[in-house]
């Protein structure tokens, strides 16, 4: 019977995977649709070379606009997926799906245009824009989860994340020079771990001070080490240098994962403190008795109000 091979460096089972925070899928469920619409518009392209010059130009322009509109729509779906995944997010700076729909509608209108039927071509364009909106929906038009936060601090976080992403992109560009697909995948996994930290700081900008070194100095050092390794490995193919680089990347990823977990634990501690303060306030106001270490069961079946829900059953009072 065939058995699937798995090892330390197998995809999905690399070192340190047990300590890594779970990665979330960012692909939009409709992300595959634009390419099929582009394929459906291929008759404009194929028939263009069998027409007179004016018709050829119109058909080529129609296909080009539809293809460009679908590419822009795909980029809008990627941005919307990232927006939906985060609890705190800015609206996309450019409504890509809207512009993509307009371009696709113009392409349909131009491709179907006839000198004696311009009004019909306009109706086709309007129908194409409406169908695009029904198929892909609108772009996110509002910021999410940013009520009551400092805009200056959010801008600082956005700038730090942008600079950190530049370092990650340079790491990926450098590791490609090594010619090793496995190392490229390893750096991509490290990038996903760093993005977990980015997302937590984006949701709570007050944590920026505690992770500034990770997003700046540490990522810059990782980039410099990757550039030097890629240059060396491309010339020498030294296995010891590769092993040392992989070990360095594993240690660095563990540090980032540990810092992300510390932020999560800090959020849980803040929640516990808030709940404890609320319980003590309720006890002082007589809504519920003081908590002596044994929390009574809630009277969820008999409760008719918040006071009933927080009160102790009578049989427990007499004990």
Residue 296 confidence (pLDDT) above 70: no
Tokens of 121: 């071509």
**Can you give the pLDDT at residue 286?**
66
pLDDT at residue 268, rounded to an integer = 59
What is the mean predicted confidence (pLDDT) over 36-49? 90
145 beta partners: none
- The residue among 265 and 200 whose pLDDT is bigger is 200
Structure tokens, 192 = 């996903």
Pull the structure tokens for residue 22. 């779970």
Average pLDDT over residues 176-191: 88
pLDDT score for 292 = 53
Instruction: Work out the average pLDDT over 45-60.
Output: 87
Of the given ranges (15-29, 92-106, 131-145), which has the lowest mean pLDDT?
A: 15-29
- Give the residue, 209 or 271, on which the prediction is more confident: 209
Cα separation of 228 and 233, whole Å? 9
pLDDT at 277: 67
pLDDT per residue as tens digits for the range 5-35: 344 434 444 444 444 444 455 678 888 889 9
CA distances from 12 to 36, 112, 226, 266 (A): 30, 49, 22, 29
Q: pLDDT grade, residue 72 (50/70/90)? A: very high
Tell me the average pLDDT across 46-70: 90
- Residue 314's pLDDT is 47
pTM: 0.54
CA angle, 93 then 97 then 103, to 5°: 115
* Domain assignments of the chain as residue spans, ordered by start: 25-136, 151-282, 295-319
Question: Rounded mean pLDDT of 206-233?
Answer: 84
Q: Which of 162, 10, 177 is nearest to 90 (CA)?
A: 162
- pLDDT at residue 65 tops 90: yes
Counting every residue written for the chain, the total comes to: 319
Q: Give mean pLDDT, residues 91-113.
A: 89
Identify the pLDDT of residue 204: 73
Q: What CA dihedral angle connects 129, 130, 136 and 139, to 10 degrees? A: 80
For residues 270-291, give the mean pLDDT.
Answer: 65
Among the listed ranges 57-66, 72-81, 135-144, 199-208, which one has the minimum average pLDDT value?
Answer: 199-208
pLDDT of residue 61: 92
The pLDDT-based confidence of 88 (bands split at 50, 70, 90) is: low
pLDDT at 202 over 50: yes
What pLDDT score does 153 carry?
Answer: 73
Is pLDDT of 99 > 90? yes
Q: What is the mean pLDDT of the chain?
A: 77
* Beta-bridge partners for 144: 89
Q: What is the pLDDT of residue 66?
A: 94
Amino acid 112: pLDDT: 82
Handedness of CA 227, 231, 237, 238 (dihedral sign): negative
Question: CA 281, 282, 287: angle at the middle one, nearest 5?
Answer: 150
Residue 82: closest CA among 198, 242, 212: 198
pLDDT at 97: 92
- Predicted confidence at residue 14, as pLDDT, reads 42
pLDDT at 289: 56
SS3 content of the chain, % helix, strand, coil (to 5): 70, 0, 30
Q: What pLDDT shows up at residue 85? A: 74
Contact between 80 and 139 (Cβ < 8 Å): yes
């Amino acid at each position: 019977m065939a058995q699937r091979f798995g090892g330390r460096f197998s995809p999905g089972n690399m070192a340190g995977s047990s300590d890594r925070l779970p990665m979330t899928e960012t692909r939009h469920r409709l992300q595959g649709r634009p390419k099929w619409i582009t394929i459906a518009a291929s008759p404009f392209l194929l028939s263009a070379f069998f027409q007179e010059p004016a018709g050829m130009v119109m058909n080529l322009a129609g296909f080009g606009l539809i293809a460009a509109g679908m590419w822009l729509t795909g980029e809008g779906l990627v941005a919307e997926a990232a927006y939906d995944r985060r609890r705190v997010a800015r609206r996309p700076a450019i409504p890509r799906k809207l512009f993509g729909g307009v371009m696709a509608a113009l392409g349909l209108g131009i491709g179907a245009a006839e000198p004696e039927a311009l009004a019909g071509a306009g109706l086709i364009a309007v129908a194409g824009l409406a169908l695009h909106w029904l198929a892909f929906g609108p772009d996110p038009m509002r910021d999410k989860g940013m009520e009551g936060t400092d805009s200056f601090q959010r801008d600082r976080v956005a700038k730090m994340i942008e600079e950190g992403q530049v370092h990650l992109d340079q790491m990926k560009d450098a590791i490609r020079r090594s010619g090793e697909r496995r190392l490229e995948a390893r750096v991509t996994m490290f990038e996903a771990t760093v993005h977990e930290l980015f997302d937590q700081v984006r949701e709570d900008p007050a944590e920026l001070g505690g992770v500034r070194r990770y997003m700046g100095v540490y990522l810059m050092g990782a980039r410099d080490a990757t550039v030097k390794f890629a240059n060396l490995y491309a010339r020498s193919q030294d296995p010891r240098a590769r092993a040392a680089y992989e070990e360095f990347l594993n240690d660095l990823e563990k540090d980032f994962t540990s810092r992300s977990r510390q932020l999560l634990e800090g959020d849980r501690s803040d929640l516990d403190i808030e709940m404890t303060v609320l319980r003590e306030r309720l006890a002082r106001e007589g809504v519920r008795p003081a908590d002596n270490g044994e929390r009574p069961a809630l009277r969820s079946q008999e409760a008719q109000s918040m006071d009933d829900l927080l009160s102790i059953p009578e049989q427990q009072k007499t004990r």
